[in-house]
Amino acid sequence: MRAVDIIQKKRDNEKLSDKEIEFLLNGYLAGDIPDYQMSAFLMAVYFNDMSQEELLKFTMLMRDSGDVIKFDEINRFLVDKHSTGGVGDKVTVVLSPILSALGMGNVKLSGKGLGHTGGTIDKFESIKGFRFSTTKDELVKIANKTGVGLMGYSDKIVPLDKKLYSLRDVTATVPSIPLIASSIMSKKLAIHSDVIILDVKVGDGAFMKNLELAEKLSERMIEIGKGADRKVRVVLSNMDEPLGHAVGNANEIIEAIEFLKGNYADDLKEVVYTIASLALKEKGEVKELEEAKEKIDKVINDGSALKILSEFIEESGGNKELVNNYDLLPKAKSVMEIFSEKEGYIKKIKTEEIGKAAMIIGAGRAKKEDEIDHAVGINIFKKVGEKIAKNEKIAEIYYNNGENVEESKNMILEAFVLTEEKVEKQKAVLKII
């Protein structure tokens, strides 16, 4: 068997056998197949897709390239929630303690952000002393105490994905639906859970720019889940404006804590409640999603979800008093207020521009090696559908280094698209699959 023959078959849109996919992936992981041949194969997949059977085999081999973790020691209904990433997406920080307070467990691999803003790890690492679990034993210990089990990515889990992604990144094959689906699902299948809930972002600030592409990606991931005998549910959520009000790291932690105190943005609430309701339905506690609202309200109103977040922070090395004392978080030295230069109804907020405006002041990474400044960020005070007057405050920039702050301000002003006609507020949850 030769790699060149497998590449040729995929180039000519012929179906590959399990043995051929095994030969290719195992050979690449072992270093026997060079980057240039794997690059050619990835480009052939980009143009010709994969069949359902090919994609399942490809994903399972990726999963099995490293450790597969089961949690026999955790006696809870386990939920693995994953987001495809967006601007202001602090859903995991809010959702994890809510799921725990509802009697479930949230176990998942969390990542660092690349691009607009930080990932879940970056948000929590704005807390002094906070340290993510790096081993299964640490994860199980904290998850047993708090119901929250978040772990940083490890080289021992799906190492083939890391190797392939680095190659995709430099060969223009990142935006391939089967390759995205296998990358996400190989990591989800490597960590055992009772249900996988995927939050696929759609719109200007998301990887999937339109609903049709997002639905295609969702269907492929659900196919993989079925083939692996795992329950997968997908929430398609709107990223045509930042989620909530805070963009950054420390300030997103504050917004998440405020949510658990009952102070929340409507769009963030809609996404969090939908995912928590789906988890309760899969567990069998409710028949319809509407029935779950009262249960979720209760764990917020009685403070139990907030208490769990506080305990999780303490168990992870941070100061649990943070939930009542935001001075324990890093603070930016300077604040710039931004005022609208015209009046009208907000038709759209160019979310990617807001993300880039946060990135250039240090809230995100342009390159993997970049250091994040956890203190900096942006707060947006207006949402799509609201009317704003000329000279009304629409945002604030929190910054330490003034080098790019004027550019950041101009990007934010440019991001607000106004119209004279009244505009409907946007739905945060577009579809459940």
CA distances 394 to 53, 309, 388, 397, Å, are 50, 30, 8, 11
Nearest to 9 by CA among 18, 19, 20: 20
> 187, 365, 382, 409: which one is catalytic?
187
Residue tagged active-site, from 161, 199, 204, 267 = 161
State the DSSP string of 86-124: -TT--HHHHHHHHHHHTTEEEEEEE----BSS--HHHHH
Q: Which residue in the list 108, 168, 230, 283 is annotated as catalytic?
A: 168
> How far apart, in Å, are the Cα atoms of 400 and each of 120, 194, 358, 417?
22, 43, 12, 28
Catalytic one among 96, 126, 133, 183? 183
Please list the helix, strand and coil fractions of the chain in percent, rounded to the nearest 5, in that order: 50, 20, 35
Bridge partners for 200 per DSSP: 236
Q: What is the DSSP letter of 330?
A: -
Among residues 128, 150, 123, the alpha carbon closest in space to that of 139 is found at: 150
Active site includes 11? no
Nearest to 86 by CA among 6, 246, 206, 237: 206
- Which residues are within 8 A (CB) of 58 and not within 5 positions of it... i.e. 6 or more apart? 21, 25, 50, 178, 182
Instruction: Answer yes or no: are the C-beta atoms of 338 and 406 closer than 8 Å.
Output: no
Would you state the structure tokens that stand for residue 200, as one six-digit string?
A: 């696929």
CB under 8 Å to 244, separation ≥6 — which residues? 88, 90, 252, 255, 264, 265, 267, 268
Residues 314, 320 contacting (CB under 8 angstroms): yes
Separation of CA 324 from chain center: 26
Fill in the DSSP letter of residue 404: G
Q: Contact 383/425 with Cβ under 8 angstroms?
A: yes
Name the catalytic one among 57, 76, 81, 82: 82
Query: Has 82 been annotated as catalytic?
Result: yes
What is the per-residue burial (b if ≥16 Cβ within 10 Å, else e) of 180-193? bbbbbbbbbbbbbb
Place of tokens 């210990």: 141
Note if 183 is an active site residue: yes
The catalytic residues are: 82, 161, 168, 183, 187
